[in-house]
Amino acid sequence: MLTRKQHQLICFIADRLTETGVSPSFEEMKEALDLKSKSGVHRLISALEERGFLRRLPNRARALEVLRTPERAARQQPATAAAVNRGDAAGPAPEPANDVVEIPLHGRIAAGVPIEALEGAQMLPVPAALLGSGEHYALEVAGDSMVDAGILDGDYALIRRTEVAHDGEIVVALIDENEATLKYFRHEGAMIRLDPANRSYDPQRYSPKQVRIQGRLSGLLRRY
C-alpha cells in the first residue's frame, strides 16, 4: 500500500523515463508533487526503494530505475495519514488509517553522536496504516545528523524490531551495549560503518562485536 505522494512520484518517474529515457531531477520531482523541499523527495524515494518499486543506480547522477509500478487506478487513492510511511512491502495489508494502535515509546535516540537509549513506560498512539507486519516501537529523535534523509529533531522514529540489517538501511544500532544511535548501516571491510545523513558529521566505525542491531526504520511520525 502506497501513500498518495508515493503513487504520484513513482508514476511521474515512470512516465518521464518512458518519454525521455532520463530520470527527472529532484527539483522537477519537488515541483511536480508540490513539495516544500527536496528532503521530502528523498523520503519518498527511500520509501519506494524499500518497497521494491524503485532502485537508484550507483555512480550515476539522476539515475533511477523503476522496478514495478502500482495499478494506475491506485493513483486516485487518497492519502491515509500525514506522516512518512516506510513500512514493509511484504506481509499483511495495513489496517485502515483511522485505526490507531499504541506502541512503546522508548525515550530519545541521537541522530548525531550516540546517547544512551532510554527505556520508558510511555506509549505512543500511531495510525495502524503506518505499521507493517512485525513488532514495533518508537523513539524520539534528538539531533540533526539525519536531516538529509528527512529525519528531523523531534520526529518519532517508528522502528521494526529486528537483529538483522542490510547495507543502506537506516537502523537503531546499540553500541557497546549501552548507547544507541540512528544511522545508515554499512559494512566496510571487517568493520561496521554507521553513516549520518548530514555532511557536518563523520561516519562512525566499530568492530562487529561492538554493534548490535535493535531495529530498522519503518516510518516517521511528525507532530506540527
Give catalytic residue positions.
145, 183
170 within 8 A of 149, measured Cβ to Cβ: yes
Residue found under cell 561496521: 192
CA dihedral over 197, 193, 181, 43, signed as positive or negative: positive
Q: Which residues contact 127 (CB under 8 A, 6 or more apart)?
A: 80, 81, 83, 97, 98, 99, 100
Residue 45 phi/psi, 5° resolution? -65, -40
What does the block give as the cell for 144?
A: 540533526
Question: Of 142, 144, 138, which Cα lies nearest the Cα of 157?
Answer: 138
Q: Which residues contact 132 (CB under 8 A, 6 or more apart)?
A: 87, 88, 90, 91, 94, 160, 218
Phi-psi region of 215 (alpha: psi -120 to 50; beta: other; left: phi over 0): left
Q: What is d(CA 92, CA 212) in angstroms, rounded to the nearest whole number?
A: 28
